[in-house]
Amino acid sequence: MENQFRQYPLEEDILGALDALGYTQPTEIQAAVIPSILNGRDIIAKSKTGSGKTAAFAIPICNFADWEQNTAQALVLEPTRELAFQVKDELYAIGRFKRLKVPVLYGGFPMEKQILTLKQKTHIVVGTPGRVLDHCKRGTLDLSKVRYVVIDEADLMLDMGFIEDVKNILMHLEGKPVFMLFSATMGERLEALAAQFMHEPLEVKIENDTETADTIEQVGYFVDEDEKKLPLFLDILTMENPDNAMVFCGTREMVEVLYYRLRKEGIACGMLHGMIDQKVRTRTIEDFRAQGFRILIATDVAARGVDFQNITHVFNYDLPTNKEVYVHRIGRTGRAGETGRAVSLIREDEQKMLNSIESFTGVGLAILKPPAAEDVENARSAFLKRQRQKRPRKKKKQDVFGGQIMNLTIGGGKKSKLRSGDVVGAISSIDGVDGKTDIGAIDIRESITYVEILNGKGALVLEELPKRTMKGKYRKGSQTRERIGTIIKVRHSN
Ligand code: ADP
Ligand code: MG
């Protein structure tokens, strides 16, 4: 079947990347906003985590970006470092065949290194507000050519106290860029921000907020005494023995209690909350995505916007205090036609909240009896076995491009006076390789050179390259796993 994204006026390079990513049908939010963004209209969009908001703005932005320009043409603001990286990966993947450069700016990383990166060609900048503003003030980030601005997770940005920084950044823009604001909730302060900077924005609300997919089985357990909650949870977890689970807690403290309790039993798990260092959070997220462990314990805020696939279970260790949050949480599972289970623990004084959730979603939770001690005992060894077992690491989603793009290193660099012209010359002299379209970024270091070979020509280049000389010497090439997007400094036609 033809890729449904072909209904939009998009470049072949973009459509090819969407094919490679397996995006064949726009999600609801994408269908609602892509045509407007392509037409240059400002938008305010509200929809839940996992609805595909990133590609909704990334597709038009990557389509618009002009490779020839040297300074940023789009700016994407994210509340946290891990979301900045996640969004960068998506922009980078969608812009892959256009070879778009997407630097990430965030606090806690050496300013000097970011300044060096910004001196190179930059197409789309993704960053957290504080650091982006820092660069603006120092004059190291040129926003004068920015035509698209995205404020992602705007409500979280506001809660985290970033709104003044955001406003300040917007003041550095010239002309009238297209503004896009994405948020899970809308309030007066966001509307005021929109009114100040946006021009007749299209307001899009994906009204499935109350809907819980019928692929999700919702069950609940009553717990009458607080002390019984943790042991009850452990029993339920043992019985469920989940493949991939998210456990939501109301407080950081509870996240830690559960985490250390499970770790004590040798169970592989991870935790996310706001007081954990950003670097550690990023590693936890990557590890969970790679299937390094099966149980992730988190607060709502720390998990917001973070994309995980194949979640089989959502546990509400603590029931949320807001019915919409319940819907957002359990929407992590039962996606893409898969079935999922949502398991909630309900204290007696939370009966009202339960009623409110049930009438909001129109679905009643099946209330179950606590598992019998004997059953838990019988299930225990299978549980420990699965939860302690290592799985093969899963590849990153963006690795779908692996077959078409190969990163090579070539022996020799600046020391041997190698220049990009030499590399391009040698590679394009190979029969079947087109120097214009098959060679991507090149990065020449002191004594090593990185080069990207596109369109599945990598193997051919590996075989033929050693038969040719560069600067009078035969040089060996080899494949590298290093991600060129993060190392590249120059390109041959620069
Ligand atoms: P949100 O920002 O709304 O929380 P994301 O942009 O993180 O959602 O997307 C959630 C997941 O959906 C990601 O894994 C993304 O790769 C996937 N996705 C996005 N658009 C499509 C599409 N059109 N077809 C298939 N998968 C998609
Ligand atoms: Mg998002």
How many angstroms is it from 450 CA to the middle of ligand 1? 31
pLDDT of residue 215: 84
Residues with CB under 6 Å of ligand 1 are 23, 25-27, 30, 49-55, 305, 307, 309
Q: Determine which residue's CA is closest to atom 5 belonging to ligand 1.
A: 52
Q: Determine which residue's CA is closest to atom 22 belonging to ligand 1.
A: 23
How many angstroms is it from 112 CA to the middle of ligand 1? 33
Q: Which residues, in sequence order, are CB contacts of 350 under 8 Å at separation 6+?
A: 319
Q: Determine which residue's CA is closest to atom 15 belonging to ligand 1.
A: 52
- Atom of ligand 1 lying closest to residue 307 CA: 7
Tokens of 2: 């033809």
Pocket test for ligand 1, best of 4, 15, 23, 34 (most atoms within 8 A of CB): 23
Pocket test for ligand 1, best of 5, 19, 27, 208 (most atoms within 8 A of CB): 27
Q: Determine which residue's CA is closest to atom 20 belonging to ligand 1.
A: 52
The ligand whose atoms approach the alpha carbon of 27 most closely is 1
How many angstroms is it from 47 CA to the middle of ligand 2? 9
Q: Determine which residue's CA is closest to atom 18 belonging to ligand 1.
A: 52
What is d(CA 423, CA 477) in angstroms, rounded to the nearest whole number?
Answer: 11
pLDDT tens-digit series, residues 128-137? 999 999 999 9
Q: Determine which residue's CA is closest to atom 19 belonging to ligand 1.
A: 52
Q: How many CB atoms neighbour CB 7 within 10 A?
A: 12
Tokens of 247: 């456990």
The ligand whose atoms approach the alpha carbon of 53 most closely is 1
Classify 262 as helix, strand or coil: helix
The answer to whether the beta carbons of residues 95 and 17 sit under 8 Å apart is yes
pTM score of the predicted model:
0.80
Q: Determine which residue's CA is closest to atom 12 belonging to ligand 1.
A: 52
The answer to whether the beta carbons of residues 273 and 258 sit under 8 Å apart is no
CA angle 80, 83, 403 (to 5 degrees): 150
CA angle 378, 382, 383 (to 5 degrees): 95
The ligand whose atoms approach the alpha carbon of 90 most closely is 1
The answer to whether the beta carbons of residues 85 and 163 sit under 8 Å apart is no
The ligand whose atoms approach the alpha carbon of 51 most closely is 1
How many angstroms is it from 56 CA to the middle of ligand 1? 9
CA atoms within 13 A on the CB side of 122: 27
Percent of the chain's residues with pLDDT above 90: 55
How many angstroms is it from 149 CA to the middle of ligand 2? 15
How many angstroms is it from 444 CA to the middle of ligand 2? 35
Q: Determine which residue's CA is closest to atom 2 belonging to ligand 1.
A: 53
Q: Determine which residue's CA is closest to atom 26 belonging to ligand 1.
A: 23
- Atom of ligand 1 lying closest to residue 90 CA: 16
How many angstroms is it from 25 CA to the middle of ligand 1? 11
Pocket test for ligand 1, best of 51, 89, 90 (most atoms within 8 A of CB): 51
Q: How many CB atoms neighbour CB 207 within 10 A?
A: 10
What is d(CA 5, CA 476) in angstroms, rounded to the nearest whole number?
Answer: 41
Strands 406-411 and 477-479: antiparallel
How many angstroms is it from 305 CA to the middle of ligand 1? 10
Q: How many CB atoms neighbour CB 458 within 10 A?
A: 22
What is d(CA 334, CA 330) in angstroms, rounded to the nearest whole number?
Answer: 8
How many angstroms is it from 27 CA to the middle of ligand 2? 13
The ligand whose atoms approach the alpha carbon of 331 most closely is 1
Residue 367 β-bridge partners = 220
Strands 178-183 and 148-151: parallel
How many angstroms is it from 49 CA to the middle of ligand 1? 9
What is d(CA 118, CA 407) in angstroms, rounded to the nearest whole number?
Answer: 22
CA atoms within 13 A on the CB side of 58: 27
Classify 133 as helix, strand or coil: helix
How many angstroms is it from 408 CA to the middle of ligand 2? 32
The segments of the chain whose pLDDT lies below 70 read 207-213, 397-403, 481-494
pLDDT of residue 212: 67
